[in-house]
């Protein structure tokens, strides 16, 4: 296929680069990684192939051997530096090896690593108080676990116990974990295995303003090119009602009348490629679920802790208060930590029997969690996400005018998606070979991006929340250079 480079006037230049030729250099970094003393690259590749699970896929045609990290930077075994715009899959919130978090972990490790919560220790109690104070309404009871999958597992169980109902609804294109229980919530065939699962879980139509049936307006500095297909009345998008109708049909045809247990939703879909819902959808969906006996669960595993900028939790931007909130990843800046926060009434359901998590809320994990909360405030991270993220999105939005293969730019704060397509009219996902080529070219120039979506054709930009405008300028130049080169190669 002959891809098209668009000039600023909208005229098409086939095979001619129309981008600025002035290279933007990688911003300086005063950190020097220690010398690499591990096995050779070839030895690591051999061990990976022979002794680790073949399901553990690596990124890039030539996988990186990461040796050291500092804030937004990663270093490979050769000492080459990379700007990390994926943050360990949206997990490194403050920055790699953030000094204050390292200090808190080190201090606690010298004092007490682990006892489990059969005993009292101060950290978990202080952390529960600090964390729940960040949530609105009656979301005041915390249960600590180790991963997002564990958190969503527990939320599913709580919802079923509390309501006495069994059926749960999530959205197509959603990712809520890969454990045998949460895999039923996750709605990608690429994450499915051929064994019995999914009992009582149904998937409603995904309200996607770019690839969906009706387009729509979203809560982003950059609107979908299909926003004009809907109307915006008093802050509510007309397509929201159409997608809620589809959700109602799932209730009508697949769930006992008035007997739904829960509705799961990410406030911005993560693995699905930073998909945002039409304005007003989530609020209407929550109202519908509650009228049918269910509770509403917000998965903030990727979008929480100020990442989206305007709010600490992105569900707040939808004008809703969930009944249960799950969180992980950025909560520990890379340390295994996760939580379920709910109301006292729902939390009481677990007192019907014994329920325990050996490592959840350990002295070490909660010391790190406390440090992360403190540094998020000290670094003014939420405001930085709003400013830097908006600057990034506005720069990426210009790509849609320059490159025919850039179909959509979306997101909020530092949770951003760039969807690459074969052409803007059909919106057919870009073929894997071309996606891989762009991805590899960015990596070769020192820029690490993630990928997501069912067809893996969305670049996921969710960096440590300490990046600067200079980092963004470098990233924009590298991305546009890589896209431009690939489009030239197709002519």
Q: Are 310 and 413 in contact (CB under 8 A)?
A: yes
Q: Are 406 and 416 in contact (CB under 8 A)?
A: no
Residue 217 falls in which region: left (phi positive, over 0), alpha (psi -120 to 50) or beta: beta
Structural domains of the chain in order of their starting residue, each with its CATH number: 5-85+381-489 (3.90.1150.10), 102-378 (3.40.640.10)
Where do the H-state alpha helices sit in 354-419? 363-378, 381-402
User: Among candidates 380, 411, 220, which has minimal Cα distance to 306?
Assistant: 380
Buried b (16+ CB within 10 A) or exposed e, 293-302: bbbbbbbbbb
CA triplet 366, 368, 369: central angle to 5 degrees? 60
Q: Which helix (H) or strand (E) holds 480?
A: helix 469-489
The pTM for the full model equals: 0.95
Classified as helix, coil or strand, 415 is strand
Contacts of 81 (CB under 8 A, 6+ apart): 26, 29, 73, 74, 75, 446
Distance CA 225, CA 409 (A): 9
Distance CA 437, CA 420 (A): 12
Q: Residue 253, Cα to own-chain centre: how many angstroms?
A: 31
pLDDT in tens, the chain (491 residues): 556 655 433 434 444 344 556 899 999 999 999 999 999 999 999 999 999 999 888 999 999 999 999 999 999 999 999 999 999 999 999 999 999 999 999 999 999 999 988 999 999 999 999 999 999 999 999 999 999 999 999 999 999 999 999 999 999 999 999 998 899 999 999 999 888 888 999 999 999 999 999 999 999 999 999 999 999 999 999 999 999 999 999 999 999 999 999 999 999 999 999 999 999 999 999 999 999 999 999 999 999 999 999 999 999 999 999 999 999 999 999 999 999 999 999 999 999 988 889 999 999 999 999 999 999 999 999 999 999 999 999 999 999 999 999 999 999 999 999 999 999 999 999 999 999 999 999 999 999 999 999 999 999 999 999 999 999 999 999 999 999 999 999 87
User: Among candidates 431, 418, 407, 425, which has minimal Cα distance to 1?
Assistant: 431
**Beta-strand runs (E) in 293-448:** 295-299, 324-327, 338-342, 406-412, 415-420, 447-448
Distance CA 292, CA 305 (A): 31
Q: Determine the length of the chain.
A: 491
Classified as helix, coil or strand, 455 is coil
Q: Are 278 and 243 in contact (CB under 8 A)?
A: yes
């Amino acid at each position: 296929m002959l891809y098209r480079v668009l000039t600023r006037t909208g005229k098409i230049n086939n095979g001619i680069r129309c981008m600025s030729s002035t290279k933007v250099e990688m911003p300086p970094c005063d950190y020097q990684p220690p010398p690499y003393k591990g096995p050779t690259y070839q030895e690591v590749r051999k061990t990976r192939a022979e002794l680790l699970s073949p399901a553990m896929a690596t990124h890039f045609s030539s996988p990186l051997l990461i040796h050291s990290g500092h804030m937004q930077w990663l270093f490979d075994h050769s000492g080459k530096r990379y700007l990390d715009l994926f943050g360990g899959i949206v997990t490194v919130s403050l920055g790699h090896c953030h000094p204050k978090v390292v200090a808190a972990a080190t201090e606690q490790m010298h004092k007490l690593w682990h006892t489990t919560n059969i005993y009292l220790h101060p950290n978990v109690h202080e952390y529960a108080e600090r964390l729940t104070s960040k949530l609105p309404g009656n979301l005041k009871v915390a249960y600590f676990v180790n991963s997002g999958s564990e958190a969503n597992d527990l939320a599913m169980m709580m919802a079923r116990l509390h309501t006495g109902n069994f059926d749960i609804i999530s959205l197509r294109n959603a990712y809520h974990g890969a454990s045998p229980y949460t895999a039923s919530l996750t709605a990608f065939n690429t994450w499915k295995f051929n064994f019995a699962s999914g009992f009582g879980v149904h998937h409603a139509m995904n309200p996607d303003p770019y690839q969906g049936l009706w387009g729509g307006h979203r809560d982003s500095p950059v609107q979908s090119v299909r926003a004009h297909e809907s109307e915006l009345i008093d802050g509510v998008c007309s397509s929201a009602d159409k997608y809620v109708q589809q959700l109602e049909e799932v209730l009508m045809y697949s769930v006992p009348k008035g007997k739904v247990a829960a509705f799961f939703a990410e406030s911005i879909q993560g693995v699905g490629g930073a998909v945002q819902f039409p304005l007003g959808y989530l609020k209407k969906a929550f109202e519908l679920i509650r009228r049918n006996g269910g509770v509403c669960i917000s998965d903030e595993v990727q979008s929480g802790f100020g990442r989206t900028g305007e709010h600490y939790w992105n569900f707040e931007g939808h004008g809703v208060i969930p009944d249960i909130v799950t969180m992980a990843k950025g909560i520990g800046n890379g340390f295994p930590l996760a939580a379920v926060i709910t109301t006292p009434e729902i939390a009481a359901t677990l007192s019907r029997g014994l329920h325990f998590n050996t490592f959840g809320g350990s002295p070490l994990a909660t010391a790190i969690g406390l440090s992360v909360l403190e540094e998020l405030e000290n670094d003014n991270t939420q405001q930085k996400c709003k400013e830097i993220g908006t600057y990034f999105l506005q720069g990426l939005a210009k790509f849609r005018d320059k490159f025919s293969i850039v179909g959509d730019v979306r997101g909020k704060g530092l949770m951003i998606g760039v969807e690459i397509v074969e052409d803007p009219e059909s919106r057919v996902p870009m073929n894997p070979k071309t996606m891989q080529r762009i991805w590899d070219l960015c990596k070769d120039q020192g820029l690490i991006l993630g990928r997501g979506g069912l067809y893996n054709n969305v670049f996921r930009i969710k960096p440590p929340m300490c990046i600067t405008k200079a980092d963004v300028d470098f990233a924009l130049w590298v991305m546009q250079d890589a896209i431009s080169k690939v489009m030239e190669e197709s002519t």
